[in-house]
Amino acid sequence: MHEFGLCEGVLEAVQSRAAGRPVAGIRVRCGVRHAVEPAAMAQAFSLVAAGTEAADAAVEVVTVPATVSCRDCGTASESMDALAVCSRCHGTNVEMSGGDELVLESVRYLTPSG
């Protein structure tokens, strides 16, 4: 599970923002090219964050598409497939851009009442 490596960096960012406050949940934007499975990411984060202020945090993954530009027909489109083909001519002579981001979008903290 490559999600473990990604989660280590995400946890560092969470801890930096949290400054010791207990974390209820996080939202992470992952580009499609990372091929992140949301359930695997949540499980990996739970294991990586064990014993920290984010130990019980819920993890929401927002998958970001890549842009696919066809070199043959000139069509540009978005794709949620890491191995994309042209949406118009179905050719494989494409260039992909974007879809490689990994951003901690938000951190939700526990309130004093729970």
Burial group, residue 74, by CB count within 10 angstroms (0-12, 13-18, 19+)? exposed
Q: What six digits make up the tokens of 85?
A: 């083909």
The structural domains of the chain, ordered by start, are 3-109 (3.30.2320.50)
Q: What is the pLDDT of residues 40-66, one digit of tens each?
A: 999 999 999 999 999 999 999 999 999
Position 91 scores a pLDDT of 96
2 vs 114, residue with greater confidence: 2
pTM recorded for the entire structure: 0.87
Position 1 scores a pLDDT of 61
Q: How confident is the model at residue 80 (pLDDT cuts 50, 70, 90)?
A: very high
pLDDT at 114 over 60: no
